[in-house]
Structure 1
């Protein structure tokens, strides 16, 4: 494997040109239960649970379960919710395959990106397992949840009803006798001040050794990888030493894996490879500060322990993505009342204006409002996630296009045709419904774009907004991934320390974690890139990447099993083939 990289400027410098807005993500929901002292070391039968996951997904011969393993944090982390002493993942396997993971042919273990929970891997995990099974191989796919996702409260979403979820999270109504505890302040996140890259890779190691105790089995069967930031985390994992003695290498990260896979990322230890994939204008501290100063700020609470932004993507608004997904699962073609029934406050109002304004004047005046348009539940989800609608590249997928009425250009926050902010806003022209108080706007799914009845909507300059080759994700699969998973599609509490550690990679405190740098090249690597994604054209050809044409950053996880050209989905096909190859 060739590991040469284009370093250039840092990821922050590469994204500075023309930057006007910075998105941020990461909402936070606190599970029930008071903060507790560190739990004792896990032992006995209660140290692991596995629960089947029910889904409306069409039968594909794949079974899914949520696995939780008790792996307590060190006492030095201090008080935290009891749930945070457990690690969780979604386990996908063939229904006719072995029930024990150790008996699988291969096990793919995936680290999520900066905005993601385990649920984001649902489509690619299912399809990879199904494609391998069709070839006579029984593999598993483990979608990891970061430890900080223990803070999420899925009660409202788990009700299966969109209106119940809105009432639970925004109106204080109980579900099953439980009331939402509210969004959590920085003062309650002291334990996350220490949740950086060292603990993140340790969590993966501890989970692997707990679930697969045989080191030879891990070395021969486990494929380690991830999406977006997950590639950098995998790089640190590959170079890590876990027993404190560099002379003994059985515990080295590279020896827990038979190979690596990178999904719209690279297996690296350099954030420069991910320019544009980390949302900007968060409360991320100025990394002109040294490691010690940053850590002191996190420990004291002067610096925020989780990333957030005042509006757009924060604890309150990020919850809406799962709720929107739930509505599209329940009643995809029904007229949505979600956006009109939400509580009115500065955060939600500003977020709606940012996402649904056709130009700056509309954003400033708030007229017409998104509440003035009639949209189906599918159209609401599409507006929130599609690359022709949402103006944030790291949130974009290609799920189809608006339908049902006239469409116009969305020239806010960037003007269509401008490439100055492509890293931030994406390269596709943005569109928005044109008639308030008019027709019911529907959603044309990915596989109906370019059909005989497609109006072929165009921009004011004559450019088609999209075509069949640019649409790859089924909006209903996306809805299921967002609304049905027990581990969320989004990551609502992202540890600030994880990013600051990676930005301070040259500091002695972080650099010392790269004990076995040769681990980055010690195993075969599969790199798959989104053809229209954040890294398009910026990854060295020496990595021999597989290119997924027309894909956006999230499409490498969400694309449908059968594409518009009739071919099997390229990411899962590549992963299944990689899992079948000898080391």
Structure 2
């Protein structure tokens, strides 16, 4: 890719050549009916200067959702929402909000589409084990070298194999979105009239760079400008901007993100040489191996939510998995250091395992939290590791919800009380040691069954195993000349109407300027804006999809 005078000048050779596009139906058990889902792949090769990479990485992929009773051509839709994922997030994470939005718009007489984008680097993921539909088969495939459909897992890619990812920064990311849009909707006037550009979390920042970008190398011509590919913008627990400042707390301190004080040139040289990791990861939870566990846990919950789980004992023991288990399930520092009691010492249902991995009352990382219910079936204790409930360290990185953990190893079977059963007459109403209720019906919005379906049933992953380090370092170094010159049309960020939807308990709670007139989804955590169910406990329409559908009908 050539960088000239601050404009994005590469083109996508042969993006619509014969055999350069596939579209495959996706079977779904979603209760939201009347929505058709397909997975679309479009060949948009990287320039040869990117270096050796798997052939799959010369394709871009997205999940396409549309009304089942309307024509298949995207150009016939009233509106198309195209969504950029956040950090460590894949297209599958948008499944619930996409379905809910398309269905809600159809109820209002509008035919819209929702395109959930996968980043190019997701080409490295192998979904074979998850796609088997069986939890034990998936574990055997990813961890024991057993074949599925004649295929053997090739292992997780190492830094030395990922030289081509050293260039996957904000420039390539917005170029990929532009090339995909141009391939799928060749008429720029249609794009300008019908497409709404947006995203979740980091996706709002990517949308900001897209809006300000120039794609033909001539800033005087503006039909190619990013803002002229969109009729409006939407931001899901984020803002449309070119700064990471609003997303503080989005990553833990122990990721391998390089010190941006080094400067753009030094960071780029480190990525090119492999001295710096080309993908973002952390020792526990946030790496390809452990993120694969989320899909495997989803399989168990999807198959038998209330059945007793054997996953903790069936998984092989290694340092990575053991450290992750301790981080998630340790009651306090002593339990984390000793490893006792271990998660396999507790009797848990498949639903309780999944809830413990992603619920806001369990997982101590705010950007991974959903509100899917609470533990049930036995005594519960405060989880004081890595931060005590109610402490100053609790918000931000760890989230505002009090954390809890089962308290009787080798005792009762701990079950999972789904979001819509919290507050029922048989709810024990668990409380923290200081008397604070752990949760209530107003703070639970996501159905654990549908979360499991999004994790295990999608052809494109819910998570992102290989997030390009350069994408974050570029944005963190937004003041450097190399990145500043990508913002060719800064007024593009305000050239179109914007819908901002915030999670009431999310990363930006109380921090977004009032002039943005945000829609606030009360009780929602950061991921809930994507995963919330259409049927809410308060009996009102789900606010995120309702707002998106309304915006799609009339963004101006």
What TM-score range do you get, normalising by the shorter chain? over 0.9
Instruction: Map residues 105-254 of structure 1 onto 2, 5 A cutoff.
Output: 105-254=78-227
In 1, the alpha carbon distance for the partners of 2:207 and 2:98 equals 18
Instruction: Map residues 478-497 of structure 1 onto 2, 5 A cutoff.
Output: 478-497=451-470
In 1, the alpha carbon distance for the partners of 2:284 and 2:234 equals 34
Compared with structure 1, are the counterparts of its residues 582 and 399 closer, same or farther at alpha carbon in structure 2 (3 Å cutoff)?
A: closer
Greater mean deviation of Cα atoms: 410-419 or 216-225: 410-419
Greater mean deviation of Cα atoms: 235-244 or 326-335: 326-335
Instruction: Map residues 2-17 of structure 1 onto 2, 5 A cutoff.
Output: none
SS in structure 1 opposite 2:234? strand
In 1, the alpha carbon distance for the partners of 2:145 and 2:444 equals 39
User: What's 2:393 paired with?
Assistant: 420
In 2, the alpha carbon distance for the partners of 1:278 and 1:219 equals 34
On the 8 A contact 1:279/1:394 being kept in 2, the answer is: no
Deviations 1:161-209 (A, max 9, x none): 1110000000000000000000111000000000100000000000000
SS in structure 1 opposite 2:215? coil
State the TM-score, normalized to the length of structure 1. 0.92
Shift of 1:311: 2.6
Q: Does 1:50 align with 2:18?
A: no
In 2, the alpha carbon distance for the partners of 1:99 and 1:222 equals 16
In 1, the alpha carbon distance for the partners of 2:512 and 2:32 equals 37
Return the match for 2:41 from 68, 73, 77: 68
Q: Does 1:439 align with 2:412?
A: yes
User: What's 1:364 paired with?
Assistant: 337
SS in structure 2 opposite 1:362? helix
On the 8 A contact 2:388/2:394 being kept in 1, the answer is: no
RMSD between aligned residues = 1.0
Shift of 1:494: 0.4
User: What's 1:393 paired with?
Assistant: 366
User: What's 1:329 paired with?
Assistant: 302
User: What's 1:99 paired with?
Assistant: 72
SS in structure 2 opposite 1:68? strand
Shift of 1:278: 3.0
On the 8 A contact 2:254/2:283 being kept in 1, the answer is: no
Return the match for 1:549 from 522, 527, 530: 522
In 1, the alpha carbon distance for the partners of 2:132 and 2:393 equals 43
**Unpaired runs of at least 5, structure 2:** 1-11
SS in structure 2 opposite 1:514? coil
State the TM-score, normalized to the length of structure 2. 0.97
In 1, the alpha carbon distance for the partners of 2:452 and 2:469 equals 28
In 1, the alpha carbon distance for the partners of 2:553 and 2:284 equals 45
SS in structure 2 opposite 1:425? coil
In 2, the alpha carbon distance for the partners of 1:538 and 1:495 equals 27
In 1, the alpha carbon distance for the partners of 2:249 and 2:326 equals 23
Instruction: Map residues 363-382 of structure 1 onto 2, 5 A cutoff.
Output: 363-382=336-355
On the 8 A contact 2:15/2:183 being kept in 1, the answer is: no
**Unpaired runs of at least 5, structure 1:** 1-38
User: What's 1:561 paired with?
Assistant: 534
On the 8 A contact 2:503/2:525 being kept in 1, the answer is: yes
Shift of 1:504: 0.5
Compared with structure 1, are the counterparts of its residues 295 and 380 closer, same or farther at alpha carbon in structure 2 (3 Å cutoff)?
A: same
SS in structure 1 opposite 2:467? coil
In 2, the alpha carbon distance for the partners of 1:491 and 1:433 equals 29
Compared with structure 1, are the counterparts of its residues 392 and 135 closer, same or farther at alpha carbon in structure 2 (3 Å cutoff)?
A: same
Deviations 1:94-138 (A, max 9, x none): 001221110000000000000210000000000000000011111
Find runs of 4+ consecutive structure 1 residues off by over 6 angstroms. Answer: none
User: What's 1:275 paired with?
Assistant: 248
Shift of 1:45: 2.6
Deviations 1:445-502 (A, max 9, x none): 0000001111101111111100000000000110000010000000110001000100
SS in structure 2 opposite 1:84? helix
SS in structure 1 opposite 2:397? helix
Shift of 1:279: 3.6
In 2, the alpha carbon distance for the partners of 1:237 and 1:243 equals 13
User: What's 2:287 paired with?
Assistant: 314
On the 8 A contact 2:13/2:44 being kept in 1, the answer is: no
On the 8 A contact 1:98/1:138 being kept in 2, the answer is: no
In 1, the alpha carbon distance for the partners of 2:318 and 2:476 equals 35
Return the match for 1:455 from 406, 425, 428: 428
SS in structure 2 opposite 1:288? helix
User: What's 1:508 paired with?
Assistant: 481
